[in-house]
């Protein structure tokens, strides 16, 4: 299976990086192909980010599933989440303990609902 991992890159903490790398290692050892933007998308971009967004868009479109390591402080995570939504991808939350549902509309609620759809 081809999996795209939505996750923080630029401001990811060491703890987040360690957890994501272990998650990726587990998936890859099970035979899955994982696109991890920090590793698989060239982060030096003379266009100011256009090439990064294009590379990630193509990886999302080619993925069988999208997994998300949610960090609500990551603007790139929100951007990729929108692309995955438009592409009607199945969403799997890597760190569900960070999803705080609310009584009003929020991305936390959207992610929780989408994850529970299982499609």
| Euclidean distance between CA atoms 42 and 103, whole angstroms | 39
What integer pLDDT is reported at residue 118 of this predicted model?
75
Domain that holds residue 30: 2-117
For residue 35, what is the domain's CATH number?
A: 3.40.50.450
Looking at the 3D structure of the chain, how many domains does it have? 1
Q: What pTM does this model have?
A: 0.94
Q: What is the pLDDT along the chain (119 residues), one digit of tens a residue?
A: 999 999 999 999 999 999 999 999 999 999 999 999 999 999 999 999 999 999 999 999 999 999 999 999 999 999 999 999 999 999 999 999 999 988 999 999 999 999 998 76
* Residue 105, pLDDT score: 94
């Amino acid at each position: 299976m081809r999996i795209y991992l939505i996750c923080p890159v630029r401001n990811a903490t060491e703890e987040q990086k360690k957890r994501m790398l272990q998650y990726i290692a587990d998936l890859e050892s099970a035979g899955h192909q994982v696109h991890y933007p920090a590793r698989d998308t060239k982060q030096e971009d003379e266009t100011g980010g256009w090439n990064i967004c294009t590379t990630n868009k193509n990886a999302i479109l080619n993925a069988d599933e999208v997994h998300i390591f949610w960090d609500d402080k990551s603007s790139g995570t929100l951007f990729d989440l929108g692309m995955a939504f438009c592409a009607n991808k199945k969403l799997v939350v890597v760190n569900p303990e960070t999803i705080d549902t609310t009584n009003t509309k929020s991305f936390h609620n959207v992610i929780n609902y989408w994850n529970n759809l299982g499609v």
